[in-house]
Homo-oligomer: A and B are copies of this chain.
Amino acid sequence: MKDQYILNSVANALQILDLLSQQESLGVAEISKALGFGRASVFRLLYTMEKSGYVTKNVHAKYDLAIKFAYYGALVVDRQSMVQASKPVLEKLRDTYNETAHLSMLTSSGKLVFLSKHYSGSSLQMYSRVGEERDSHNTASGKVMLAHIEQERAEALAGGFHYEPLTVHSITCAEQLLQELEQIRQHGYAVDREETEIGLVCFSAPVFDHRGECVAAISLSGPTSRMYGRQDEIIQGVLAASQAISVSLGFGSQRSARRA
């Protein structure tokens, strides 16, 4: 009895979808080998998912994720109220500094996920795509979110992270992370100083909803050369933007319980 409520076939089907997200155009046998399910089972799983419109079979009997994912994906993103609320503010932020602006939130597993991206005109800019997940502990927005959720949850998450140093500036342990979270709370913003990639700097500030909960974070990202020279100015801009979004979500209109 591994997990008493897991439905085997459903979990297997979803595993196939995950596999198809990593690699396109897979056949029955390939999936069978990769996941260790019988060929017949894989066939039936794919057959069911094709009839339901979640995968498509091409002429060579290779399978792919269906375009339905694009539609559902767009729905999911649009339903996050902060995406709508942040759009004009982030566009203005992007235009003011001509750097890429993001809106992000935490997943239930404590990773950071991008909800929207507003491209700078520059040809040198951060790679990312909406829906993508990153480690929270080496991104500015991830650290901002961790700093503003319940302390005990943040500590639990921090204890579970995998601190692989990506650059010489990376955070290497939970203690270091928790210490920085304290500073972030004091300053009201977070910085990623080339912690994931040399040359990439990122400033981030929290977004609060009507209950005073931190539900998202915004960030402005760009290359070292362009970011450090006008650091103070940019931080002020990011902070102002985050506050504007919070207000449009109803923050401060009631007596919102702000955490210490």
How many chain copies?
2
Structural contact, B72 and A76, CB atoms closer than 8 A:
no
Contacts of A228 in B (CB 8 A): none
Structural contact, B47 and A5, CB atoms closer than 8 A:
yes
> Complex formed: what's the CA distance from A75 to B132 in Å?
10
Contacts of A24 in B (CB 8 A): 79
> Complex formed: what's the CA distance from A47 to B4 in Å?
10
Which range contains the number of A residues in contact with the other chain? Answer: 35 or more
Structural contact, B75 and A5, CB atoms closer than 8 A:
no
Contacts of A190 in B (CB 8 A): none
| Binary per-residue interface labels of chain A (125-146) against chain B in the complex, 1 for a CB within 8 Å, 0 otherwise | 0000111110000000000000
Structural contact, A21 and B75, CB atoms closer than 8 A:
yes
Task: Determine which residue in A45, A51, A70 has the highest number of CB atoms from chain B within 10 A of its CB, and name it.
Answer: A70
Structural contact, A13 and B7, CB atoms closer than 8 A:
yes
Structural contact, B69 and A130, CB atoms closer than 8 A:
no
Knowing A13-B13, A115-B67, say if A131 contacts B73 (CB, 8 Å). Answer: yes
| Given A5-B47, A67-B131, A68-B131, 12 extra CB contacts under 8 A | A6-B51, A10-B10, A10-B48, A18-B52, A64-B76, A67-B105, A67-B107, A69-B131, A71-B132, A72-B73, A73-B74, A74-B132
